[in-house]
Amino acid sequence: MNDLQILLVTAISLGFIHTLLGPDHYLPFIVLSKARRWSLSKTLWITFFGGVGHIAGSVILGITGVALGISVSKLEMIEASRGNLVAWMLIIFGISYTIFGIVKYLRNGHHTHLPKFLLPKSIRKYRHLPTTEIEEAKEDTTRLTPWILFLIFVFGPCEVLIPLLIYPASQHNMYGVFIVSLLFGTATILTMLLTVFIGYQGTSLILFKKSEKYMHMLAGLVILILGIGIRYWGW
């Protein structure tokens, strides 16, 4: 087995391992699919495009850096800064979605025992309506959720990919650069799809009926914890 073949096997292995060990690669899709009641096919398509954006960002950075002769240490520094950016994006998104979940919980009448003057005006306006009418009365702005996820994953770094591209690039082997990127990306995306599929099917076996009213809040909190974990705990 020559050096390039070893590198290709390494690319596949690292694509699988780094995805499996990074809960941010799949948990947001699983919890949001439950909160938003996405179908399995829609969840997997959103995951797929998120994975493509995730890989494309690092591949473009890696190939551009190699072409410009930027050192590995500088490229890894750039990837680290992207990691911090994504952590803050997840934190902000998590906080925003948690607040959305709380407002939705109140608006749907789950806290009707609260005094009317303690509820926001927008909630008081719809308080007398049944839940289904409330949903129809207010436009669902969370249709942007898949696009927000995609944007976050575009900025998400693949630190292990950069070193993999250096060897074939140093040998002026563009075929090697291409095939390493392709195999690493394929392994990453397939692992994302597999873990999301298992998570989706697994959570479908759990009876969420009594906790459905909390799902938006729970989804926001999970995303928030992921962001904090990446930023401060090195996830």
Structural domains counted in the chain: 1
Query: What 3-state class would DSSP assign to 83?
Result: helix
Q: What is the pLDDT of residue 141?
A: 41
Per-residue pLDDT of the chain (235 residues; tens, 9 = 90+): 678 888 899 999 999 999 999 999 999 999 999 889 899 999 999 999 999 999 998 888 888 887 787 777 888 888 888 889 999 999 999 999 999 999 988 887 654 444 554 445 554 554 544 444 444 334 334 577 899 999 999 988 887 888 888 777 767 678 888 899 999 999 999 999 999 999 999 887 775 555 677 889 999 999 999 999 998 887 7
> Would the CA dihedral through 209, 48, 67, 166 be positive or negative?
positive
Positive/negative CA dihedral, 214, 215, 218, 223: negative
Distance of CA 103 to the CA centre of its chain: 23
Residue type, 232: Y
User: Residue 201: which domain range?
Assistant: 3-232
Structure confidence at residue 65 (pLDDT): 81
At 208 the pLDDT is 58
- Written as one letter, the residue type at 137 is A
* pTM for the structure as a whole: 0.80
